[in-house]
């Protein structure tokens, strides 16, 4: 059973992402790529209403708001700092921003979308069920997220050096996420994606991960590594990949697009 985060941990995560909002996009290379990949897989037909969950600084928001300038677009995120940055970066008149997490975002909408956010959900099946209820008949749910196996180079080396420092939670597996598909959903896309980034030195790697908000929270080791342990882990990663001249970090991701059946109008009986 996956342990749930405490209210204090949730509040800490919101504060962490708010603090990193101003510099987030400078290190969010994978997240930007994944937002673009998801947008490419969403059908082009213009909706009347869009609900985005976990909009962050607006990586996906800017793409879709420009694509659909006439739709009513509601972008939500629980971190006020992220929302404020998104407002500044996304001045489109059809955009409305609201502070809410994915479990409390409200439609209805023709498309409910989310990129690089739902992996933070404490109960992903419950979150997806809630978002599916916000989708209008004939609309869809499109989302991308990080999967188990992400940052495996760090996890494998950490487990070898410090076997007792395990994270409280693991990222979801691709097959498990696909298994959460609603029974009435039509599959448009269910795609597993892999991307590898390379960092010349451990310092650049840690700066990027910290700036993206992934060095704390439920996927970080518990207890947290001490500075001496981090230094040892950094040296081990550098030595293991010395032949490459850089430290590789692997990201496992998924893009999923599900379509809801259109409502059927039955003709009334004539007397």
Task: Tell me the pLDDT tens digit for each residue of 102-111.
Answer: 999 998 999 9
Helix (H, G, I), strand (E, B) or coil at 63: helix
Section 87-110 average pLDDT: 92
> Helices in 28-170 by DSSP H: which ranges?
29-41, 59-67, 80-89, 124-133, 152-161
Cβ proximity of 252 and 150 under 8 Å: yes
Q: Tokens for 171, please give them.
A: 């990222």
The burial class, CB within 10 Å (0-12 / 13-18 / 19+), for 173 is middle
Q: What percent of the chain has pLDDT over 90?
A: 68
**What is the per-residue pLDDT for 213?**
73
Q: Per DSSP, what are the bridge partners of residue 166? A: 222
What pLDDT does residue 210 have? 83
**pLDDT single digits (tens) 125-174:** 999 999 999 999 999 999 999 999 999 999 999 989 988 777 777 899 99
Contact (Cβ atoms closer than 8 angstroms) between residue 127 and residue 103: yes
pLDDT band at 3 (very low <50, low <70, confident <90, very high): very low
Average pLDDT, the chain: 88
Q: Is there a contact between 214 and 155 (Cβ–Cβ < 8 Å)?
A: no
Contacts of 115 (CB under 8 A, 6+ apart): 31, 34, 35, 38, 54, 59, 60, 143, 144
């Amino acid at each position: 059973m996956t342990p749930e985060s405490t209210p204090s941990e949730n509040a800490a995560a919101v504060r962490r992402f708010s603090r990193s909002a101003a510099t987030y996009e400078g290190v969010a290379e994978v997240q930007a790529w994944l937002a673009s990949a998801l947008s490419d897989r969403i059908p082009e037909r213009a909706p009347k209403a869009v609900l985005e969950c976990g909009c962050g600084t607006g990586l996906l928001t800017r793409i879709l708001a420009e694509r659909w300038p006439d739709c009513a677009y509601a972008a939500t995120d629980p971190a006020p700092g992220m929302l404020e940055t998104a407002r500044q970066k996304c001045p489109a008149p059809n955009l409305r921003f609201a502070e809410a997490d994915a479990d409390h975002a409200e439609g209805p909408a023709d498309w409910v979308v989310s990129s690089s956010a739902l992996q933070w959900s404490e109960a992903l099946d419950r979150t997806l069920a809630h978002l599916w209820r916000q989708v209008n008949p004939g609309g869809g749910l499109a989302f991308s997220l990080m999967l188990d196996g992400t940052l495996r180079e760090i996890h494998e080396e950490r487990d070898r050096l410090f076997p007792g420092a395990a994270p409280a939670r693991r990222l979801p597996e691709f097959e498990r996420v696909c298994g959460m598909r609603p029974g009435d959903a039509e599959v448009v896309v269910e795609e597993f994606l892999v991307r590898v980034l390379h960092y010349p030195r451990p310092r650049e790697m840690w700066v990027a991960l910290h700036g993206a908000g992934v060095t704390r929270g439920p996927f970080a080791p518990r207890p947290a590594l001490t500075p001496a342990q981090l230094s040892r882990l950094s040296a081990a990663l550098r030595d293991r990949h010395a032949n490459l001249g850089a430290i590789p970090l692997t990201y496992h991701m998924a893009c999923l697009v599900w379509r809801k059946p259109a409502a059927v109008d039955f003709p009334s009986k004539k007397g």
